Every structure is written in C-alpha cells, then in structure tokens.
Amino acid sequence: MLFENLDERTRPFIVAEVELDVTNAKLYISKRLSEIGGKDYVNLLKEAITSYDEAWFAQQLSLNGRINLTEERKKQGGYTTVKIPETAAETLAEGEFNRFYIRGLCLRALDEGISDLEVYHAKAVISPRPNSQAKIGTKVKAEKLLEDLRVNLGIDTALGLPNGPNSGLSVKLS
C-alpha cells in the first residue's frame, strides 16, 4: 500500500492512537491470531508503525505460528473447522495498519488546523468495488472520521472508511 502521508510527522500520532486503545483495553485482537500472535501483536504493530509499514507487519504476523491454521465457523446445526486463508496475515496487517494510519492522520490534520482529508486508493486492486470507486477524491471531516474509527474497532465503520477488508481505500492530506 502507498500511504501518502506516512512520515516522521504522522508516525507519532499513529502510535498515540494504538496506545489509546491499549490503555482503554479496546485494541482489536483478531481471533485468527494464535496465543503467541496475540502476545506479540501490540509490539509488532508499534514497531511496524514507528519503523516499517504494513508489509513488514504482515510478514511478522505470518512467522512463528502467530496465525492459527484453522478456525471454527458456524454452520447449520453446529460448527465446522476450516482452514484459515493463506492471506490472513496480510489482510489483518493491511486492515489494522490502515485503520491506525487513518486515525493518526486525522490527529495530525486536526493538530495542523486541517479539517478535511481526501479519500484515495492506497492499494491498486484488480476489480475495485463500485462503492469504493465512488469515494475516491471525496473529502471527509477528520474529526468525524477519527471518532468513527475509535468507536468501530475492527469492524465496518459508519463512514465506510476504510471500506472493508482489501478495499485499498485510505485518506491523505488535501
């Protein structure tokens, strides 16, 4: 993904958002993470934010058994065990890194007196969703977006950003 404003000015704001969730015991921890993955998650996320990117984060999550191999899914009359997709670490890393990037960028924008951020495609996708395409170039209020992402952890948001797993949408300073 290409995070246009992932720089030394934005990174501390992103870390502050992770620490806010940790302090308030609201950090989203995927059920696809193994016990060791859950233990390593916060430190890996912070390291990715301060020094690397979502690709490094995905690589780290995919190592040392941090992602479970299977998961339970509901089916009619009970549960079944299914294999977790090979892309699980990448999907989780991209999604959560992007969510915290957006939250941090909202903080930065507010700190700099910027009220609106612009939606853009941070990741090229082969078949973009029509509702994602419609959002490209639109402006969103940094304050509302930040509030939305703080309330809706690890799930779809009211404003539809980032717009679900693998949407490729993010925001940038206008």
Q: Write down the pTM of the prediction.
A: 0.89
Residue 4 counted as domain residue: no
**Pairwise CA distance, residues 142 & 9, whole Å:** 17
Residue 93 counted as domain residue: yes
What is the count of structural domains for the chain?
1
Percent of the chain with pLDDT over 90: 76
The model's pLDDT over 102-152, given as tens digits with 9 standing for 90+, comes to 999 999 999 999 999 999 999 887 777 777 788 889 999 999 999 999 988
Residue 36 counted as domain residue: yes
Residue 160 counted as domain residue: yes
The pLDDT score that the predictor gives to residue 3 is 96
Residue 160: give the domain boundaries.
11-173
- CB neighbours (10 Å) of residue 50? 13
Residue 84 counted as domain residue: yes
Residue 86 counted as domain residue: yes
Secondary structure of the chain as H, E, C letters:
CCCCCCCCCCHHHHHHHHHHHHHCCCCCCCCCECHHHHHHHHHHHHHHHHHCCHHHHHHHHCCCCCECCEEEEEECCEEEEEECCCCHHHHHHHHHHHHHHHHHHHHHHHHCCCCEEEEEECCCCCCCCHHHHCCCCCEEEHHHHHHHHHHCCCCCCCCCCCCCCCCCEEEEEC
Residue 6 counted as domain residue: no
Residue 2 counted as domain residue: no
